[in-house]
Amino acid sequence: MGEDAENSKLNHSFLRDYVTEADVISTVEFNHTGDLLATGDKGGRVVIFQRETESKGEVEEVGETGESGEYNVYSTFQSHEPDFDYLKSLEIEEKINKIRWLPRQNAAHFLLSTNDKTIKLWKVSERDKRPEGYNLKDEEGRMKDMSTVTSLQVPVLKPTDLMVEVRPRRVFSNGHTYHVNSISVNSDGETYLSADDLRINMWHLGITDRSFNIVDIKPANMEELTEVITAAEFHPHHCHLLVYSSSKGTLRLCDMRASALCDHHAKLFEEPEDPGSRSFFSEIVSSVSDVKFSHSGRYLLTRDYLTAKVWDLHMEKGPVETYQVHEYLRSKLCSLYENDCIFDKFECVWNSSDSVIMTGAYNSFFRMFDRETGRGVTLEAWRETSKPRAVLRTRRVYTGGKRRRGDVGVDSLDFTKKILHMAWHPEENIIAIAATNNLYIFQDRVNTETQGQD
């Protein structure tokens, strides 16, 4: 009996850990109005949150916007299932790598979600009415006994409880040999790109059995492979332009008008290496983990291991701004290499006006940089230190000089608590931060006294 108890204890904890792992959020994305927020997790599930609107005429404080700003669960569905590649004898993870919303065209919402291999188009629609009063069927759908039917009636639509239906509309499979890391919807509203480690394909949203390969950096001999594609995105306004980043820290702007296969870049953005700081880890830390066009389409934001950089599309020789996210880790690169943290891929985002950029770090910290002043601030996404509606305190990592209360030493940083995924509302100052299993939503509360998040 004692043995059984021990075994059940072991089994139980294994299950608990397994469940937790599947709940790890792997992507976060607002839709184009910001009313909906989608998250994908390692278990292949997508959870959509909807912003609550101020109905029923509740009066809030002066200065508040019309919407209360709270996001509640709108719909949950299983997007991808674990799969198996029989040819290679390898599992295909169901983890959702990216979600991208399509621009709204009708009452329904559409989003693309992808795992390592397959992209799916989902239709999210609401149903709040249902027809009632059929002649031949009763309310449960069973055929009526004809002898009970005495008169004809016209079915009418009656309001019912809101039902959110999510249905797969397209499945774009067999397009990628390597792991898909990015998807991006084109401004033309008809096409999108999907990028894996070595290739970028362009799809039409209506066609699933074909895709165009627009970038291919696979060498003839795989032993000569030294560089992979890490992220890709379409230009927000110009449907012929796309950018992709590489593991060597370069960005390539491609113009699809130039040729069908965009192996030759229109522009190459690369910062020359500083010979003084060269080490064995130089290349790894220069690898770009995320690239985002600004809303204006004029700038690019990139994230590498230690910095976030803003590039002007008109200047290829180097970034116009460089922000140190966690420079104090530079002396720890060896340990971070050993525990694989050096390969963590942090995302970066712009705010709605392109005046602030944000990216994640370790210890549940994330950083925001004001482009005008160049100043950065560190904030924390951690349940125990922030209560609902509390103002976020700024945090600091102690790197020398006078130590303030609340400063965290570099050696006490928790490297398992990484903020990799995040999103910024397209119009307002509302941010969504994914911290492992948890989703934090922070808002800027503008009122007469304080400036919200400081």
Partner 1 sequence: MYSKGTKRKFSGSADTATDDKAMAASYSLQRQSLLDMSLIKLQLCHMLVEPNLCRSVLIANTVRQIQEEMTHDGSWQVVTEAFSSPSHGPSDRLVATEVLCRSPVLEQQGGGPKLYSVMGYNGCREEEVVTDKALCSVAVGDGAPALLLGTIGHCWDRAELRVAEVEAGVSEDSLSGSGDEEETRCREGTKLATGQVFGMFEIKNSPPGSDPALEELFSDVDASYYDLDTMLTGIQSTPKMGPYDLLDSLASSHGPTSNSTCRADLNELDHIMEIIVGS
**Residue 324 binds partner 1, judged by CB under 8 A:** no
- Cα dist from 151 to 132, 140, 158, 268, 340, whole Å: 15, 19, 20, 75, 74
Span interacting with partner 1, options 9-17, 130-138, 330-338, 370-378, rule CB under 8 A: 330-338
- Cβ closest to partner 1, residue 110 vs residue 305: 305
What residues between 359 and 418 interact with partner 1 by CB under 8 A?
A: none
Span interacting with partner 1, options 9-17, 207-215, 223-231, 350-358, rule CB under 8 A: 223-231
Chosen residue from 93, 304, 380, 428 binding partner 1 by CB under 8 A: 93
Span interacting with partner 1, options 42-50, 98-106, 290-298, 336-344, rule CB under 8 A: 336-344
Binding string, 18-57, against partner 1, x = CB under 8 A?
----------------------------------------
Beta strands in 383-448 (DSSP E): 397-398, 408-409, 421-424, 430-435, 438-443
Residue 192's identity, in one-letter code, is Y
- Cβ closest to partner 1, residue 288 vs residue 357: 288
Percent of the chain that is helix, strand, coil (3-state, to 5): 10, 40, 50
302: CB partners within 8 A, 6+ apart: 245, 251, 288, 290, 291, 292, 308, 309, 311, 319, 348
- Nearest approach in angstroms of CB 286 to partner 1 is 10
Task: Return d(Cα 282, Cα 88) in angstroms, integer.
Answer: 33
Instruction: Report the C-alpha dihedral over residues 232, 349, 240, 171, rounded to 10 degrees.
Output: 60
**Residue 343 binds partner 1, judged by CB under 8 A:** yes
Residue whose token pair is 């998040």: 453
- Nearest approach in angstroms of CB 371 to partner 1 is 29
Task: Return d(Cα 304, Cα 307) in angstroms, integer.
Answer: 5
Chosen residue from 72, 105, 221, 277 binding partner 1 by CB under 8 A: 277
Chosen residue from 28, 121, 214, 228 binding partner 1 by CB under 8 A: 228
- Nearest approach in angstroms of CB 291 to partner 1 is 14
Task: Return d(Cα 16, Cα 2) in angstroms, integer.
Answer: 21
Chosen residue from 190, 283, 370, 407 binding partner 1 by CB under 8 A: 283
Complete DSSP assignment for 265-315: -SEEE-PPP-GGG--TTHHHHHS--EEEE-TTSSEEEEE-SSEEEEEETT-
Binding string, 167-206, against partner 1, x = CB under 8 A?
-----------xx-----------------xx--------
**Residue 281 binds partner 1, judged by CB under 8 A:** yes
Task: Return d(Cα 70, Cα 131) in angstroms, integer.
Answer: 32
Span interacting with partner 1, options 101-109, 138-146, 282-290, 443-451, rule CB under 8 A: 282-290
Residue 45's identity, in one-letter code, is R
Chosen residue from 47, 266, 284, 341 binding partner 1 by CB under 8 A: 284
Complete DSSP assignment for 406-421: T-EEGGG--TTS---E
Chosen residue from 19, 157, 258, 334 binding partner 1 by CB under 8 A: 334
Task: Return d(Cα 381, Cα 163) in angstroms, integer.
Answer: 32
For residue 22, give the H/E element and its range: helix 2-22
Residues at the interface with partner 1 (CB under 8 A):
85, 88, 90-93, 116, 178-179, 197-198, 225-228, 230, 247, 275-281, 283-284, 287, 331-334, 337-338, 340, 343
